[in-house]
Every structure is written in structure tokens, then in C-alpha cells.
Amino acid sequence: MAFGRFYNSLDGSWRHSYSAHLNITSESEYVSFVSEDGKAIFYKFSEGVYVGDSGNGSLVRLEAGWEYSSPANTVYQFDLTGRLTSVTEAGSIQYTLAYAGREVKVIVLNGQVLTFTEDARHQPLSFSSEGVIINYKYDADLHLTEVERVQNGVTARKHYHYEDPRNTGLLTGITDERGVRFATWSYDEKGRAVSSQHSDGAGLTQVAYNTDGSSTVTNELGKTTIYRYQQIGGIKRVISIEGEPSANCPASNSAYTYDDRGLMLTKTDAKGLVTTYTYDDRGLEVSRTEASGTPVARTITTEWDPARFLPVKTVDDQRITSYRYDDQGREISRQSVAR
């Protein structure tokens, strides 16, 4: 049972593993699902259902609250105000959450309990579980500055730095419990990350933003890779990666195309081989053809459960595989037969 933290430089907030919530307008016409890392997915009420972009999961209004089902088959349930009340994963691990003001208790089916408090931005204030106590300290601008961990009577502190005078919400470094600064980031005047490195410059990665909208990434070995983009539906999609392939960047010298929904239609690798994709109305892949247009082309088709993001049958050139699941989305059988 983990309690992870996520930093989002767009708003400078630190969220945690259980900070997912819904933002609901007064008339419930628009609802956004905000994930643990701060990413928001938007839905609009239309003809009796909540409609969002394909491939982003589904949102349903229930009598006692809301339910969001992700493409990864994680089901989040919320109360009428948008507070998270339970999380069920395809692997059957289920969490329930109980609230008492700012205090939240997370209870696992096996009885394990973890307790934390959070502020109005869903930033953690304190955490306790199985003899471990963690306190989170913030400055006047609500930026996390210190994490204090107490276990077996021993106190350790980790510090977080925000040293860019142009934007004090940007995380620029972390100093560990030994007093060693092990991570440093820098940004340009637009708040875009331009470098990342560990102690003594280890793992230095630099990013240059070019005038044509592309970006050039240089790794610690001096290898450069150029990424080119196309904006689709307000989101930048990578359309090409230019640079010699390596163990650290095997996708170099690749090209991609997308449909109007931002779903990938084709992928061309460094050898010129093309993979094509098709999708259903939910944005789920229903066919993929590898090495399309060549004598060795191979097609894989997928049929999906109509109500869940679960494959029920896949077909390739050698076999047909059928899947069955229980009510919680756990796989209970898999059968393959040769074609």
C-alpha cells in the first residue's frame, strides 16, 4: 500500500496517490476528472450521458455519486461533491476512503489502514501508517519545502527548492536526508524545462525549443534527438523523432500520423516499416497491422467488452484468444486456439 506524491509545474502543486477528485459545475453540465498527478479530463452532459474525448475513459452519474472508469480498468467512485470514496483496480485491490474534515483514512480490503491530512488543493499535510509519521511543510505560497519522516524515533528531512525568480512555483532542486542535493532542474523564461541533472552533473539532459516548434534533446553522452509536433485537439502530438537509434532512444528516426481525435493512425520505424491502427467509437484499438504493405504484414484484431475497457477476443495470424472476466474485471479464463 503506497502513498506516492506527484509534482505538477503547471500549478506548482504536490498531489498524492489518493488526490483524484471531480470538479463539478453548479448545474453539473461540465465535470472534470482530475487524476492523482493533476491531469484533467473533461466531460460535458449531452443527451443524458457525459461525453468526453475518445480513449479517455467513461464518467457516469450514479444515484449516490459518480463513477469514472479509466482505460486501464481502474474504477474510481466519488460522492456527490466529487470526493474520492473508493478505488477498484483490475487486479482486485480495492480501497475505500473515509473523511473527517481534512483527515482521510484509506482502508484496504485486508484491513490495512493509512491516515493522512490534506489541504484544499489536495496537497498532503501529514501521513501515518504502521509506525511511520510524515509531515509536509509549505511556504507562504503553498510550495512544498520540507518532508519530515519519523520512524523508530529517528527523524530525517528532505528539502525542496524553488530558486527561479521568474516563477517561484517551479521546482529547481531536491536535497536529500544527508544534505546532498541530488536533483536540479532549470527552466527558460516561459517556464519550460531546459535541463535536468543529478549530483555532479550525472545524467545531464538538456532541451532546446526551436523556432519551428520542434525541440532538441541532448543527453549526457552528447547525443541529440529532434522531436517534431502537430497540435490536434489542443494537444501536441509527436509526428517525428529524428536521431540515430540507441539503447536510450530506440524510437529515433520514426514518424507518426493521427486522426482528428489524436489517435495514432500510422507509425513508421527507422527501417521504413509501417504499422497501421484502427479504433472503435470509444477510441479502443480494434486492429493493428505491422509491416503494412509488405509480404510479412501481420494483423491483430481485438474485440472489446461493450461496457468495460477489457478485451474479449484477439485474433492474429496464428491464433484466436478469448478472455472472460468476473464482475470486478479480473480475468478468470483465457483460451487460445490455433487458426
Cβ-in-10-Å burial (0-12, 13-18, 19+) of 15 comes to: buried
Intra-chain end-to-end CA distance of the chain, in Å: 43
pLDDT of 248 > 70? The answer is no
What is the distance between the alpha carbons of residues 166 and 149, in angstroms, rounded to a whole number? 31
Return the higher-pLDDT residue of 72 and 107.
107
Query: What pLDDT is recorded for position 90?
Result: 67
pLDDT in tens, 23-39: 999 888 999 999 999 99
* Segment 248-274 mean pLDDT: 89
Decide if 116 contacts 8 (C-beta within 8 A): no
Q: In the numeric block, which cell numbers belong to residue 73?
A: 480498468
* Segment 67-81 mean pLDDT: 92
Instruction: Using alpha carbons, list the distances in angstroms from residue 251 to 37, 196, 257, 265, 268.
Output: 26, 21, 15, 17, 10
pLDDT of 233 > 90? The answer is no
Mean pLDDT of the chain: 92
Query: What pLDDT is recorded for position 12?
Result: 84
pLDDT band at 234 (very low <50, low <70, confident <90, very high): confident
pLDDT of 91 > 60? The answer is no
Nearest one of 7, 4, 25, 27 to 16, comparing CA atoms: 4
pLDDT of 319 > 60? The answer is yes
What is the distance between the alpha carbons of residues 147 and 1, in angstroms, rounded to a whole number? 19
pLDDT band at 249 (very low <50, low <70, confident <90, very high): low
Instruction: Using alpha carbons, list the distances in angstroms from residue 249 to 221, 241, 246.
Output: 12, 10, 5
Query: What pLDDT is recorded for position 323?
Result: 97
Query: What pLDDT is recorded for position 190?
Result: 95
pLDDT band at 250 (very low <50, low <70, confident <90, very high): low
* Segment 65-87 mean pLDDT: 93
pLDDT in tens, 144-173: 999 999 999 999 999 999 999 999 899 999
Cβ-in-10-Å burial (0-12, 13-18, 19+) of 243 comes to: buried
